Amino acid sequence: MKITQFQRSTALAGSIVLAANDFTVQNGAWVVTSEVDGNPGRGMAIDVQDGILVMQVYNYKKSGAPTSHLAVAPYAHNEAGGHLKRYEGGRYFGGPALSGHEVADVGAVQ
């Protein structure tokens, strides 16, 4: 799997480990480039502000149902460490106000 502009990565769900000396985090949306074929794919959005890293991961269950994941972690000296959590039940575009809830801690993010 290759993620645009990242040279080293492992699976999106589970543990994501990126060596701190290899790059500086770039805010933005990132996709798995081998899956850019007009079909739904996997990727993440990363934003770092005021010493906090926020990462959303989007991918799919075996059933094809979309997932919603979020990690929030302190960020300093090109390093962050936290947990990637999966959520269900939140509001969708055009839908009524609904509160999402955490359903699983799917792994560490470093």
Q: How far apart are CA 77 and CA 16, in angstroms?
A: 18
Do 74 and 51 touch, CB atoms closer than 8 A? yes
Q: Write the single-letter amino acid at 51.
A: G
- Tell me the pLDDT band of 1, cut-offs 50, 70 and 90: very low
Segment 76-104, tens digit of pLDDT: 988 899 999 999 988 888 999 999 999 99
Do 95 and 83 touch, CB atoms closer than 8 A? no
Domain ranges of the chain: 20-109
- Predicted TM-score (pTM) above 0.75: no
- Provide the pLDDT for residue 91: 87
Radius of gyration, CA atoms only, the chain:
14
Looking at the predicted structure, is the pLDDT value of residue 18 above 90? no
Looking at the predicted structure, is the pLDDT value of residue 105 above 70? yes
When the pLDDT of each residue in the chain is averaged and rounded to a whole number, the result is 81
CA distance to 66, 75, 96, 99, 104, per residue, from 91 (Å): 14, 28, 7, 7, 18
